[in-house]
Amino acid sequence: MKDGETWMTRADDDAVQAALVRQLLELHPAQMTAAELLREVAGERAGFAESDAVERALRDLEGAGLLHRGDEFVTPTRSALRLSELLDR
């Protein structure tokens, strides 16, 4: 591994996914772009590793049916919203 190179574990990826879902659910019904989500979870000066982690998380969450990625906005699915309601009881 080269200096400055980092590897993310499955636990790291899960943590990024959880952070994104929490952020989307907390702000719903407000809509956010992928860039806004990146800034929210990784800060203003996010590097390639953080950007890549967020992009992977968005892809995986969309594949799992927990969010929709439109041309501009990322939103939680109805399933994600319902699960959030059930867990908040």
pTM: 0.84
pLDDT tens digits for 65-84? Answer: 999 999 999 999 999 999 99
Task: Round to whole Å and give the CA distance between 23 and 13.
Answer: 16
Domain boundaries, the chain: 10-65
Token readout for 71 is 């041309």
End-to-end Cα spacing for the chain: 46
Q: What is the pLDDT of residue 1?
A: 34
Task: Round to whole Å and give the CA distance between 17 and 21.
Answer: 6
Does the pLDDT value for residue 2 go beyond 70? no
CB 54 within 8 A of CB 42: yes
Task: Give the percent of the chain with pLDDT over 90.
Answer: 70
- CA nearest to 66, candidates 12, 31, 22: 22
Does the pLDDT value for residue 32 go beyond 90? yes
Task: Give the percent of the chain with pLDDT over 70.
Answer: 92
